[in-house]
Amino acid sequence: MQVNLVPITESDTIVLRNLWQFYEYDSCKYQPSEVDERGLFAAPEAFLESIGSSNSENTAFTIEVDGKIAGFLVIERAEVEGRMITEFADIFVLPRYRRQGVATSVFQRVVVSSSIPWLLAVFRKDTEALAFWKGVFAREAGLQYRETSPPEIQEFHEFIVNESDA
C-alpha cells in the first residue's frame, strides 16, 4: 500500500471542500453540527478559501492510497500555552481506508520525522480516536509527548508532540 500526501492548491480546494462534508458528518457525534437547508454541513469558508494561497500559514493535503483519494490532512498554526505552534489539525480518512495504517503513516511522515513541536487535538468525547492516538504514541519508540492541562479548548484533549526536540 502506497500512501502519499498531495498538496492542495487554490485551484483544487473543491476536493477539500467536498471531503470536509464527510469529516463534518463523522465528527457531528462530538460537536453540535446541523445541516443547512441544502442538506450540507457548515464549512469554515474563509479557512477553506485560504488553503493553497501563498500568504496562508495553513496548508492541506489530500491523502492518497495507491493513487486514490483516501482523505485529507490540514496543518495550521495555533496558539498553545502562550506560544505559536504547528498543529496536525484535521486528519480525515475515508472509512474504507481505516485500520490499514494510513493515519499512522501520515503522522510518521509529518510529525515523527520532524524536529519541531506539534499540537494534536482530539475531541474529548471521541474515545475511539483518543485510544487510537495514545496507541500511536505508545508504538513510536522515543516519541516525546504530553497532554496540555488545562487544554486551550475544553472540548479537546490536546497533546504536544516533539516538544523536547525544539
- 54 pLDDT band, cuts 50/70/90, is low
β-strands 118-123, 83-93: how paired? parallel
The residue range of the domain holding 125 is: 3-165
Are 70 and 63 within 8 A, CB to CB? yes
> Could you give the number of structural domains in the chain?
1
Q: pTM of the predicted model, to two decimals?
A: 0.88
> So what's the pLDDT on residue 95?
95
Residue 84, amino acid: M
Provide the CATH number for the domain around residue 17.
3.40.630.30
- Read off the DSSP letter of residue 140: S
Report the C-alpha gap between 105 and 64 in whole angstroms.
11
Q: In the numeric block, which cell numbers belong to residue 148? A: 496540555
Report for 45-49, 60-64, 139-143: range of highest mean pLDDT:
60-64
